[in-house]
């Protein structure tokens, strides 16, 4: 007997997005509806495997009857909802969010953010050369991964991945308040003194390269990191019996980093220190 669980069928909800009707199952978000309607919505803090925190506000849309704009990544659809994704209010807010981020954070490795900024005609230079930024020294305090918070947009993804969404190790959290809010270990102790277990699940979800494998960081520093010369091979971890899928990123015959597919139900993109960094033994040739 095959045993696929059958739960009660979910209701279909009909709403209007940019003038056209869209039908999605109850419980879907406006973002889901936009995807169904093939409308591209910029997102930064949203992650497929993470609970939406809606803090970047770049995915906002206009919903008729709502006083403020609404984050599409978390707002659930309702029958009869009328959504505008391209109104003046939406475009202005998205542009401003991108200008605010671009003017305060190093987005040089955040491909998506850069693409959106171009698309929405963001001009961060309008805030002047003395605009406050989060520029700071890179934190290199272990051999496995590197933290460059100059690139941090405070999307909270790493905190969630290290927290209840996945790893439940809680080695990092947001500290401080306001513009000074930053991702930190307790009392900003170096990673080796913290609760970090080097699973790399935070690196896997970081959208801007603020968190990066040391292997990648070193190659980038040396100018030899080249994604066009990399192949990705999906295999199974050599360690325990859980059966996590690994994606080995190989450049010039060397594994340069390890990820796991987000849609692999066993891992949902997560690994442990052995799966993430334990490949080294095959490089010791």
User: Which residues from 265-284 bind another protein, rule CB under 8 A?
Assistant: 265-268, 270-275, 277-284
Contact between 15 and another protein by CB under 8 A: the answer reads no
d(CA 114, CA 68): 26
Contact between 239 and another protein by CB under 8 A: the answer reads yes
Contact between 214 and another protein by CB under 8 A: the answer reads no
In angstroms, what is the minimal distance from the CB of 4 to another protein? 7
Residue 7, helix vs strand vs coil? coil
Among 43, 245, 251, 259, binds another protein (CB under 8 A): 245
Measured between alpha carbons, how far apart are the two ends of the chain, in Å? 48
H/E stretch holding 82: strand 82-84
Footprint of another protein on residues 135-154 (CB under 8 A)?
142-144, 153-154
Q: How many residues bind another protein (CB under 8 A)?
A: 107
Stretch that binds another protein, among 13-21, 112-120, 122-130, 217-225 (CB under 8 A): 122-130
Closer CB to another protein, residue 38 or residue 214?
214
Pairing of strands 145-147, 211-213: antiparallel
d(CA 194, CA 190): 7
How many other CB atoms sit within 10 Å of the CB of residue 2? Answer: 3
Closest CA to 60 of 87, 27, 99: 87
Stretch that binds another protein, among 25-33, 34-42, 106-114, 251-259 (CB under 8 A): 251-259
Closer CB to another protein, residue 136 or residue 184?
184
Stretch that binds another protein, among 29-37, 114-122, 218-226, 252-260 (CB under 8 A): 252-260
CA-angle at 134, arms to 227 and 130, nearest 5°: 115
């Amino acid at each position: 007997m095959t045993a696929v669980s059958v739960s009660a069928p979910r209701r279909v909800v009909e709403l209007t997005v940019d003038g056209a009707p869209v039908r999605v199952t109850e419980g879907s978000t406006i973002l889901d509806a936009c995807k169904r309607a093939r409308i591209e919505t910029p997102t930064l803090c949203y992650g497929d495997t993470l609970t939406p925190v809606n803090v970047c506000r770049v995915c906002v849309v206009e919903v008729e009857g709502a006083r403020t704009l609404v984050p599409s990544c978390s707002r659930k659809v309702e029958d009869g909802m009328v959504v505008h994704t391209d109104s003046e209010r939406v475009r202005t807010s998205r542009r401003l969010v991108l200008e605010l981020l671009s003017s305060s954070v190093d987005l040089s490795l955040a491909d998506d953010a850069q693409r959106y900024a171009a698309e929405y005609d963001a001009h961060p230079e309008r805030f002047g050369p003395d605009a406050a930024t989060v520029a700071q020294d890179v934190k290199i305090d272990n051999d496995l991964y590197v933290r460059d918070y100059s690139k941090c947009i405070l999307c909270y993804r790493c905190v969630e991945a290290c927290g209840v969404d996945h790893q439940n190790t809680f080695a990092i959290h947001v500290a401080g308040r306001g513009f000074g809010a930053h991702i930190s270990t307790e009392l900003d102790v170096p990673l080796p003194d913290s609760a970090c277990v080097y699973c790399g699940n935070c690196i896997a979800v970081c959208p801007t390269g603020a968190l990066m494998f040391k292997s990648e960081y070193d190659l980038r520093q040396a100018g030899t990191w080249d994604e066009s010369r990399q192949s990705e091979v999906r295999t199974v971890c050599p360690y325990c019996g859980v059966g996590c899928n690994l994606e080995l990123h190989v450049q010039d015959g060397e594994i340069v980093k390890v990820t796991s597919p987000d849609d692999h139900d066993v891992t949902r993109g997560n690994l442990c220190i052995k799966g993430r960094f334990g490949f080294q033994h095959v490089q010791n040739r």
